[in-house]
Amino acid sequence: MPVPGGTAGIADVRPPIRALLIVLMLAAGIAGCHGGDPPAAPPATTAPQQPAGDTPAERAASLAASLSDEDLVGQVLMPYAYGASATEVTPGNRAGNQRLAGVDTPAEMVARYRLGGLILVGFSADDPTSQNQVTTNVDSARQVRELTTGLQAAHAKLGAGSAPMLVGTDQEYGVVTRIKSGVTALPSAMSAGAADDPRLTEAAWRAAGTELAALGVNVDFAPVADVLGDAGSTVIGSRSYGSDPAKVSAQVAGAVRGLQAGGVAATLKHFPGHGHTSGDSHDALPLLTQSRAGLDRGDLPPFTAGIDAGAKLVMSGHLDVRALDPGTAATFSRKVLTDVLRGQLGFEGVVVTDGMNMAPAKRWPAGEAAVRALNAGNDLILMPDSLPQAYDGLLSGLRGGALTKERLVEAVTRVLTLKFELAGKPAPGMSTVGSAAHREAADRLASAAVTQLRGACGRAVRGPIQVTAASGRDTARGWLVDALRAAGVQVVESGGTVVHLIGYGDEPADLRAGATVTVAMDTPYLLARSDSPVLLATYSSSQPSMAGLAAVLAGKASPAGRSPVEVSGLPRSSCAARAG
């Protein structure tokens, strides 16, 4: 790592880099003493080291220099586990953990593999990421808190136990929302893009970060920094803030500031941008075909904005970036991660892979894939396809020369620095979860997002109203019915003015001919095929979004949003002040 100015000493380098330089030199000496014979694995009850130094980076450097090879390898692994508890599992979850890692419980997984982190997983029907979410351990807010407490207790017994365990999840809000029960529901990223007010986004994400921190989740794999292209990538869709790089940048920065103010590390994904692809990286390697200038202009700005806002992590994408390293997934490309992300964008935090149980990462055995990912510049291996193979492969790579000690220690130092930074933040109480103030922040953002794309702006829909929905939309339909009735609107089961709801994955056949109002609760593209005289979009089927929609339908609020993506044949808004 070059020293600024070429002649400066270590003392002149910024503290995080200085600590990293120190530990790399220490690691080189330690590696030289091993003589090719690795030390035996320390017992699971090894007392945690007490790192020296004042700053998180200095403490991380001290601790990393003291760890065994086995502990170093464990710190860069972040698998999933089966079970809603760290120590008590059902027979089915026990069998799942045995298949995945040869252990019975999540706590045993942490102990055996010296794990630095664990990701909490889950899925729902409207989830484009469900292909690699093979189980769920996020049943409720209180259950998540108990699970994370148990995981931290298991991690505290490790050699790196003086730093907290990283517990992450994909809490993007919208179609990718892992923890749903008992927490405040935010509208989707595209909803925030339609509201186009980063202050509202920041306030809502501060509420989200506070609640996640209260549950013991300290890393959120959000926000999505992908800019949607003309193809309207279906795997990204409403997970994106929109198609305008500048507006997306402002939204991403707001989400990062809010989330981290709540005490949770934010993750920018999927670097260098998944929005201009038509493929799904869960089952294939999508092509990113922009020129280098196109990447700089259309994909990288939100990542730059998020980094400038202080984002702690960046997630590498399983993407074939033709302008940078054709034929190689960005996850495994030094040109993408080291040259561009570290060199050009100046990112100094933790780089985490996308799920290594996704098809592009399974091109190699799990151990070889983990080594390749670290050598490319990743610091954290997420969801390895086989935990034993990934763990053993990293150890073998370290001892056989495929992975240098310096690169491993560099990665661990970044991971530990993040952990010590998070350790300095007090955990909010459970009373903050679902609080009135948090619900108000979500409501403000959702209400500001409601967009009218056809019809006279701001007129109440003449009642009584019949609410219909495409198949599978019963929950959102119920929330809208309740909100309409609370607003004084008569709702009937048949007859009346038809308001029809469509959502994620719906097709033209899911539209209702003759509906007076059609509402898009996900991306708005399908509205171009509707014959309804009034078209509205909420971009989200959350309860706050349905409340905001009800206020517009009742004539109690104006649809203030503007579509953050182009819909064929329709304006961004049919309201004069927001049209264009």
Q: What residues act catalytically?
A: 282, 354
Rounded distance between C-alpha atoms, residue 97 and residue 317, angstroms:
27
Cα separation, 276 vs 227, in Å, equals 7
Question: How far, in Å, CA of 267 to CA of 515, rounded?
Answer: 41
Question: Treating both helix axes as pointing N-terminal to C-terminal, what angle do 405-423 and 366-376 enclose, rounded to 10 degrees?
Answer: 80
DSSP H helices, 50-183, are 56-66, 69-75, 91-101, 106-113, 141-155
Q: Are strands 166-169 and 117-120 parallel, antiparallel or unpaired?
A: parallel
Q: Is the distance from CB of 499 to CB of 461 less than 8 angstroms?
A: yes
Cβ proximity of 379 and 415 under 8 Å: yes
Q: Amino acid identity of 411? A: A
Residue 176 sits at φ, ψ, to 5 deg, of -110, 90
Cβ atoms of 83 and 427 closer than 8 Å:
no
Residue 391, Ramachandran bin (φ over 0: left; ψ between -120 and 50: alpha; else beta) = alpha
Enter the tokens of residue 57: 């980076």
DSSP 8-state symbol, 272:
T
Strand order in the sheet with 265-271: 117-120, 166-169, 219-220, 265-271, 313-316, 350-353
Q: What sign results for the dihedral spanned by CA atoms 58, 64, 67, 71?
A: positive
Q: Looking up tokens 């078209």, which residue turns up?
A: 535
Q: What are the structure tokens assigned to 573, written together?
A: 């808004």
Looking at residue 490, its amino acid is: Q
C-alpha to C-alpha distance for 546 and 500, rounded to whole angstroms: 13
Strand-pair partners of 267: 313
The encoded tokens of residue 272 equal 């260098």
Per this entry, what is the length of the chain?
A: 580
**Rounded Cα–Cα distance for residues 237 and 361 (Å):** 23
Tokens representing 61? 């450097």
C-alpha dist (Å) from residue 320 to 56, 279, 382, 573? 35, 11, 19, 35
Token readout for 286 is: 């999508």
